[in-house]
Amino acid sequence: MTHSSTSEQHVDLIVIGAGSGNSLIGPEFHDKTVALLDDGRWFGGTCLNAGCIPTKMFVHVADVAAHAADAPRIGLSFTRDPVDWLAIRDRVFAKTDKISRAGFRYRDEKSPNVTVFRETFRFDGPRTLVSASGVRLSGEQIVIAAGSRPRPLEVPHDGDDPALHTSDSIMRIDALPASLTILGGGAVAVEFAHVFSALGVRVTLVARSERLLTELDHEISERFTALASEHWSLRLGAHLGGVARDGAELVVSLDGGEELRSELVLVAQGRIPNADRLGAASAGYDLEADGRLAVDHHQRALSGGEPVAGVYGLGDVSSMWELKHVANHEARIVEHNLAHPHELIGGHPGPVPSAIFSRPQIAHFGLTEEQARRSHPDAVVVVQEYRTTAYGWALEDVTSICKLVVDRETALLLGAHIVGPEASILIQPLIQAASQGLSIRGLARGQYWPHPAASEVVENALLKAEEEL
């Protein structure tokens, strides 16, 4: 049900955030009173409404366009008909909005023990929250799953300019711009650069760093940056002066004098955990230096360095990962720990992989080569190129690689880094092996790899690493 009047209420469980937080309100809570706090903007959280899911639906469209554009390499050519942006946009959001509405309806109509509050709340004490309209809630247990938001631009600009976007708004625009300047060099920046450039938008990407995706393995970042420069105009090592309107254009000024003019600007400079908006610190909860809610191994919120019984954090508000698969895992941990306060669980099931759906894809987990050189000086590092496989020949690929970092003593995978088509799927057998603590000795030859599938690049990388052990 949805809460509709001013009141004061005490419940068994308050869940702040209707993304991964919503998913943990399982049948085991049917005899508990639950308050589900959603800020009223979109039900279901960032991933569903403005993150992974809609972006990847756009990315797939961009992939098809990019494959067609790249097809002369393999002897085909296509002329793309004018892009019907509204058809693409409305298809994506018809799907996600429907799921969002269904999720809300389920809680509103079919979950008698759950009351949905659709406005913003702030802590007014360790276990009390107050809304803008004056609703006051206290809970025996609290789950803080309030997510994160795009970091606002920190140089002079007009925050109300409708052409200045974040990932929250850029996918819902009414028409494709002729040009787009993207401020940022991380995953969000390069995914949107792919989406819009593949659909014909002239994209300029401005990053402070000298490479894109600098948090990745250096070689992967370097290869990706080189490929990116073929499709997008890059301004690397750039320092922003400000963003200002000039007629129909926004002007991005860079230190040094260059001015970049475009119809739209996307600010993609990272995300901020929403712990501040909740007033978590003033309620006594610890924050990390970057503003995240501090939690322990069992996802318990900390206060003065000590876990607070019955109060948990999960997902972007408290996680260093900002990944939906991690948030979902943490939600399962919290779901368990809420019900079993004396048998707390925690931790990851294995290394945390991350996939970036750009042009090309990237997937990786664990140590980069540089990190391994410090912590495991004799680690085995191998690079296997797609072009050593039949699938690489089929693609006419000369840029994609699978890189493995392996501990010489244990033969365990310390890291895996793939840049190239289908990286996000190709990495799974490596994740599986690493999660199970399997030595790579015999791993390639201990199973068949269907010939000539793309996975042969992983097989060959494993064989090469084994040889060098």
Q: Looking at 19, 422, 461, 466, which residue binds a second copy (CB under 8 A)?
A: 422
- Which helix (H) or strand (E) is 242 found in, with range? strand 240-246
Contact 166, 267 (CB under 8 A): yes
Q: Is 81 in the site for a second copy (CB under 8 A)?
A: yes
State in angstroms the smallest separation of the CB of 465 from a second copy.
16
Cβ distance 263 to 249 under 8 Å?
A: yes
* 451 has catalytic annotation: yes
Pairing of strands 202-206, 413-419: unpaired
Distances (CA, A) of 201 to 175, 411, 420: 11, 46, 23
Shortest distance, position 121 Cβ to a second copy, whole Å:
27
The residue within the footprint of a second copy, chosen from 6, 28, 41, 78 (CB under 8 A), is 78
Q: Which is nearer to a second copy, 100 or 128 (CB)?
A: 100
Decide: 360 and 421 in contact? Cβ < 8 Å. Answer: yes
- Of the candidates 30, 218, 340, 451, the residue annotated as catalytic is 451
Our finding on whether 398 is near a second copy (CB under 8 A) is no
Applying the rule CB under 8 A, the residues between 347 and 386 that interact with a second copy are 348-355, 363, 365
Angle at 64 between CA 60 and CA 68, to 5 degrees: 165
Radius of gyration (Cα) for the chain, nearest Å? 24
Q: What is the closest distance, in whole angstroms, from the C-beta atom of residue 333 to a second copy in the complex?
A: 11
- Residue 448 interacts with a second copy (CB under 8 A): yes or no: yes
Site stretch for a second copy (CB under 8 A), options 126-134, 145-153, 306-314, 419-427 = 419-427
Any contact of residue 134 with a second copy (CB under 8 A)?
A: no
**Residue from 1, 71, 132, 309 in contact with a second copy (CB under 8 A):** 71
Q: How far is the CB of 36 from a second copy (least distance, A)?
A: 22
103 part of the interface to a second copy, by CB under 8 A: no
Residues 6+ apart with CB under 8 A from 6: 133, 134, 135
**8 A C-beta contact, residue 195 and residue 58:** yes
Instruction: Cite the beta strand spans of 314-353 per DSSP E.
Output: none
Q: Which of 41, 175, 245, 393 binds a second copy (CB under 8 A)?
A: 393
* Residue 249 or 335 having the CB closest to a second copy: 335
Say if residues 113 and 31 touch (Cβ distance below 8 Å): yes
User: Is residue 57 near a second copy by the rule CB under 8 A?
Assistant: yes
On whether 83 is known to bind a ligand per the annotation, the reply is: no
Q: Does 412 bind a second copy (CB under 8 A)?
A: no
**Residue 441 binding a second copy, by CB under 8 A:** no
| Distance from C-alpha of 291 to C-alpha of 318, rounded to nearest angstrom | 9
In angstroms, rounded to a whole number, what is the distance separating the alpha carbons of residues 44 and 38?
8
Residues in region 173-202 near a second copy by CB under 8 A: none
Nearer to a second copy, 95 or 277 (CB): 95
Rounded to whole angstroms, the Cα distance separating 426 from 404 reads 13
Any known ligand binding at 268? no
Q: How far is CA 346 from the centre of its chain?
A: 21
Classify the phi-psi angles of 439: left when phi > 0, otherwise alpha if psi is within -120 to 50, otherwise beta: beta
| Residues 312-351, mask of contacts with a second copy (x by CB under 8 A) | -----------xxxx-xx--x---------------xxxx
AA letter at 248: A
Of 184 and 366, the one with the shorter C-beta distance to a second copy is 366
| 464 annotated binding-site participant | no
Instruction: Decide if residue 458 touches a second copy (CB under 8 A).
Output: yes
- Fill in the amino acid letter for 258: E
Residues assigned a catalytic role: 451
Residues belonging to the binding site for NAD(+) are: 184-191, 270
Binding-site residue set for FAD: 56, 316
Q: Which residues are annotated as a binding site?
A: 56, 184-191, 270, 316
